[in-house]
């Protein structure tokens, strides 16, 4: 079988991989986004940088020939495309309201935009484009492609006096191209320049060493497996990668190269299969083309028949109107002629006047009798005037509203595919946020209907199952269901509707509601909050403790069992009555995090009398196996904290939960749930800890609720806690 190294792919065959997804042109100084996709430096800069005269520095200190510096504003297809993207708001910026908008006046309010390759949000942070690495590998491939495309165009020596000679090699240290004579002259034997690295003629000069974009003077020598990017030792020591797993660059190079080689070899070994599938796809393309044309012809035939029917009805109805109009006009004109005869010296009156001149009595009587009858009728008609025809055509008014509605609803047949409920984004408490993904078909649906029912209740006698409740039509991918009962199991399903045709129901999913209503709060940035050791998000819905230099310098104390003190943070809302439930996530890499509740009196003690150093064994509820915890365990104290960290949950020995009964250490160390729920019953004086995904109680105990109780969190070393979005959303909407 052929291998990747033995197979040479013509450089011209990979053009589709070298096109920037934004400007649709060949990459120019491509940058690697955090999601591993690449975009042109100029494309990102046009949209994000406030100062368009900034120097180019993306992963290297050296200035490169041909690097994009201050450029004149020359219109190009890519620039026009960027203009359209910026105006349409594709990149998440505020609308540009200036009537005379110019590219030079682009002022983005944020540095977040969706990756054009995968649509994931990319946050460049305060450093902006300078935090991104240049994709030198891709840049070299693009340069080789350009050379292959212009094989007839030679690269000339940069040192020759006119006339210039064709270059035979390029020096990567000098960043210049030379002919043979000039290279020997500028790189004489026995000098340091003789040791310079040279390659074949090229216009792409890249630095010999990749520098860290966050620490400009440091070389990258490690690879972060979490962020999937090279880092330097300062990034790992106390920077943004302090808590991430890293490996050496050589190890990462070996592993990634081996994986890539295996993947390429696998694809090459499946070349016959790929060709077969391509042939099948080509057949499908031809069938699609033929069937599409056939569907067009049939649709045209249907509409032609409709047009013919409409034309026939049109002619018939117009002919009826014309016949009625002609008949009425003839009748009215005859009546006009009749009345014209009543006028003096004309018609009937004139004729009667002439008859009156007759002197022969017998002749007069013979003619006057009939004439008198006619005049009597005309006199009667005059007294009771009534038109012989109605000028109104109301009976010919056509009502086509029903037919127009039917025509507007005219569509192709077919039932839409059912949507799928998204478990990762759905959250159900006393109110439920249910999200779903629509079917990936080409036709849009009109709306969705969500149905739900409570399980474990008396069944309907007629249907043999519990009753389903339906929501009003939902014109989006999610909806909120209210007034769900606590500590209950609910089943949900959803279906789509298109043109009065309903899809089948989605597969049913079940959610267990918590034992109490949701308690909404944010982190308190005032009471006892240590801004030196804790980092709070702007929305105050997540807090992070970073293992800084102080923690690293205390390594000796860590080895002897003495730890840095806990940094406490509480919720901004207290509880003085009732039952409440809240949910949060603890990052898996967190070293030690304590979660639970504490009274205001205990909080004052923690804040005003902090322990400078403490061991996890100091607290009775720490969860660490000290052996002395149970003997001094207080049954009722003004706080309860459960220890979470290193991907585990440590259940204290005094737990009475049946799930963790016994003194076996293995039963008391559980895998850390993805989401943790806390339930406080203030009147009963008990607190419960749950796996929020399965609503399984992990631990419960008594707590003294004499004062105001607050959600409490303590972080030691590195760690991060996120409050549930559905819980914080209500609080944020009022801020």
- SS3 string of 563-621? EECCEEEEECCCECCCEEEEEEEECCCCCEEEEEEEEHHHHHHHHHCCCCEECCCCCCC
Does residue 107 surpass a pLDDT of 70? no
Tell me if 420-513 shares its fold with 534-608+636-653+667-723: no
The predicted structure's pLDDT at residue 595: 93
Average confidence (pLDDT) over 64-68: 38
The predicted structure's pLDDT at residue 604: 74
Residues 106-131 as b/e (b if ≥16 CB within 10 A, e otherwise) read bebeebebebbeeeeebebeeebbbb
DSSP 3-state of 681: strand
- C-alpha 491/C-alpha 455 separation (Å) is 7
Write out the CATH class of domain 534-608+636-653+667-723. Answer: mainly beta
The predicted structure's pLDDT at residue 344: 58
The runs of H, that is alpha helices, within 465-573 are 549-553, 555-559
- pLDDT classification of 13: cutoffs 50, 70, 90: low
pTM, whole model, 2 decimals?
A: 0.45
Average confidence (pLDDT) over 270-288: 90
On average, the pLDDT of the chain sits at: 76
Contact 447, 418 (CB under 8 A): no
Write out the CATH class of domain 420-513. Answer: mainly beta
The neighbouring-strand residues paired with 542 are: 722
Contacts of 144 (CB under 8 A, 6+ apart): 11
pLDDT in tens, 19-35: 888 888 888 888 888 88
What are the residue boundaries of the structural domains of the chain, listed by start?
251-409, 420-513, 534-608+636-653+667-723
Ramachandran angles phi, psi of 495, nearest 5°: -145, 160
Going from the C-alpha of 238 to that of each of 231, 548, 715, the distances in angstroms are 12, 6, 17
Helix 249-269, helix 271-340: angle, nearest 10: 70
DSSP 3-state of 432: strand
- C-alpha 112/C-alpha 58 separation (Å) is 18
Does residue 264 surpass a pLDDT of 80? yes
The predicted structure's pLDDT at residue 610: 53
pLDDT in tens, 474-512: 988 999 998 888 888 999 999 998 877 788 889 999 999
pLDDT in tens, 408-422: 767 666 778 889 999
- pLDDT classification of 4: cutoffs 50, 70, 90: very low
Does residue 54 surpass a pLDDT of 50? no
- pLDDT classification of 304: cutoffs 50, 70, 90: very high
HSE of 57, CA atoms in CB hemisphere, 13 A = 15
The predicted structure's pLDDT at residue 95: 36
The predicted structure's pLDDT at residue 318: 93
Largest CA distance in the chain: 160
Residues 286-318 as b/e (b if ≥16 CB within 10 A, e otherwise) read eeeeeeeeeeeeeeeeeeeeeeeeeeeeeeeee
pLDDT in tens, 373-392: 878 877 777 777 888 888 88
């Amino acid at each position: 079988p052929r291998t990747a190294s033995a197979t040479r792919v013509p450089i011209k065959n990979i053009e589709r991989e070298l096109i920037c997804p934004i400007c649709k042109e060949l990459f120019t100084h491509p940058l690697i986004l955090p999601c591993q996709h690449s975009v042109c430096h100029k494309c990102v800069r046009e949209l994000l940088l406030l100062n368009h005269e900034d120097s180019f520095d993306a992963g290297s200190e050296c200035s490169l020939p041909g690097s994009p510096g201050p450029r004149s504003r020359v219109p190009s297809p890519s620039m026009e495309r960027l203009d359209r993207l910026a105006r349409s708001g594709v990149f998440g910026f505020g609308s540009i309201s200036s009537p005379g908008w110019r590219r030079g006046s682009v002022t983005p309010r944020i540095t977040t935009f969706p990756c054009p390759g995968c649509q994931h949000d990319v946050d460049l942070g305060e450093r902006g484009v300078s935090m991104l690495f240049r994709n030198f590998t891709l840049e070299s491939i693009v340069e080789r492609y350009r050379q292959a495309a212009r094989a007839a165009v030679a690269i000339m020596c940069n040192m020759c006096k006119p006339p210039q000679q064709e270059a035979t090699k390029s020096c990567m240290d000098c960043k210049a191209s030379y002919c043979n004579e000039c290279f020997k002259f500028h790189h004489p034997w026995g000098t340091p320049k003789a040791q310079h690295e040279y390659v074949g003629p090229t216009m792409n000069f890249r630095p010999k060493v990749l520098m860290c974009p966050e620490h400009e003077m440091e070389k990258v020598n490690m690879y972060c497996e979490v962020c999937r990017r090279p880092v330097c030792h300062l990034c790992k020591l106390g920077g943004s990668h302090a808590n991430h797993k890293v490996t050496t660059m050589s190890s990462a190079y070996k592993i990634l190269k081996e994986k890539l080689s295996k993947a390429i070899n696998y694809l090459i070994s499946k070349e016959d299969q790929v060709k077969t599938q391509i042939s099948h796809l080509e057949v499908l393309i031809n069938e699609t083309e033929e069937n599409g044309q056939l569907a067009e012809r049939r649709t045209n035939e249907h509409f032609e028949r409709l047009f013919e029917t409409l034309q026939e009805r049109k002619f018939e109805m117009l002919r009826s109107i014309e016949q009625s109009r002609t008949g009425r006009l003839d009748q009215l004109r005859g009546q006009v002629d009749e009345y014209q005869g009543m006028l003096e010296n004309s018609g009937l009156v004139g004729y009667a006047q002439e008859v009156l001149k007759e002197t022969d009595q017998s002749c007069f009587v013979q003619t006057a009798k009939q004439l008198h009858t006619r005049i009597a009728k005309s006199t009667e008609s005059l007294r009771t005037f009534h038109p012989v025809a109605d000028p109104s055509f109301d009976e010919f008014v056509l009502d086509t509203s029903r037919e127009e509605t039917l025509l507007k609803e005219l569509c192709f047949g077919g039932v839409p595919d059912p949507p799928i409920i998204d478990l990762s984004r759905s959250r159900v408490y006393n109110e439920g946020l249910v999200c779903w993904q629509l079917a990936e078909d080409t036709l849009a649906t009109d709306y969705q209907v969500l149905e739900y029912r409570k399980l474990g209740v008396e069944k309907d006698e007629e249907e043999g199952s519990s009753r389903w409740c339906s929501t009003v039509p939902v014109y989006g991918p999610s909806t909120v269901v209210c007034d769900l009962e606590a500590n209950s199991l609910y089943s949900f399903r959803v279906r789509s509707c298109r043109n009065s045709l309903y899809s089948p129901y989605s597969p049913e999913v079940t959610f267990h509601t918590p034992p109490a209503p949701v308690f909404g709060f944010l982190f308190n940035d005032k009471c006892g909050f240590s801004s030196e050791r804790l980092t709070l998000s702007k929305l105050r819905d997540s807090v992070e403790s970073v293992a800084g230099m102080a923690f690293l310098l205390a390594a000796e104390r860590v080895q002897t069992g003495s730890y840095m003190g806990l940094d406490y943070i509480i919720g901004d809302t207290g509880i003085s009555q009732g039952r409440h439930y809240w949910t949060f996530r603890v990052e898996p890499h967190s070293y030690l995090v304590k979660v639970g509740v504490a009274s205001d009196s205990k909080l004052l003690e923690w804040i005003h009398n902090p322990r400078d150093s403490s061991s996890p064994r100091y607290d009775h509820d720490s969860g660490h196996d000290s052996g002395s915890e149970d003997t001094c365990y207080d049954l009722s104290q003004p706080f309860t904290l459960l220890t979470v960290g290193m991907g585990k949950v440590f259940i204290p020995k005094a737990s009475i939960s049946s799930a963790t009964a016994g003194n076996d250490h293995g039963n008391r160390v559980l895998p850390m749930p993805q989401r943790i729920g806390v339930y406080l019953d203030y009147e009963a004086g008990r607190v419960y800890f749950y796996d929020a995904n399965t609503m399984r109680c992990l631990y419960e105990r008594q707590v003294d609720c004499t004062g105001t109780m607050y959600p409490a969190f303590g972080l030691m070393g590195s760690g991060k806690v996120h409050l549930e979005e559905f819980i914080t959303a209500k609080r944020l909407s009022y801020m």
